[in-house]
Amino acid sequence: MGCRARAPKPELVRVVVAGAQCVPDLRGRLQGRGAYVHGDPACIELAERRRAFPRALRVPGPLDATPVRALVAQQQSGQQQRGQQQPGQQETAQQEHDRHQAAGSQNVPAAPAAGSPVREQVEKR
């Protein structure tokens, strides 16, 4: 469905009708006619545009595929988070760095003001 490309079954999401929506059937246990789509947001969108959901699920009305799209988007963002642990650590180091700078900047304006007149006096002598 959708792009019509073949995919191994683990990459496919089973979709069933629930009222005016089509919802993902993660465990493959919901009753009724099911359709399979790729776990790919672009593919879900394509299927929606082509009205492939009502056709594949043999219902007359338009179907809202928002739950399916939300699931797929969630799955994809989860995969990205698992693969990007290093940027997260860098972000923490950056925050720490910012904190040190903020703490340092409070002392910096006071130090030259107190120090420079003394130094000038020393140079004049």
Site residues, Zn ion (CB under 5 A) = 2-3, 5, 38, 43
Q: Give the residue with the Cβ less far from Zn ion, 20 or 73.
A: 73
Alpha helix (H) ranges present in the chain? 41-49, 52-56, 66-83, 85-107, 110-124
The rounded distance, in Å, linking the Cα atoms of 44 and 64 is 11
CB 37 within 8 A of CB 68: yes
Please say which residue, 17 or 72, places its beta carbon nearer to Zn ion: 72
Report the nearest approach of Zn ion to the CB of residue 35 (Å).
12
Nearer to Zn ion, 17 or 47 (CB): 47
If we measure between CA atoms, which residue out of 70, 69, 71, 76 comes closest to residue 43? 69
Alpha-carbon Rg of the chain, whole angstroms?
A: 29
The distance of closest approach from Cβ of residue 47 to Zn ion in the complex, given in angstroms and rounded to an integer, is 8
Which CB sits closer to Zn ion, 2 or 24? 2
Return the half-sphere exposure (C-beta side, CA atoms, 13 A cut-off) of residue 63: 29
In the bound complex, what is the minimum distance in angstroms from residue 13's beta carbon to Zn ion?
10
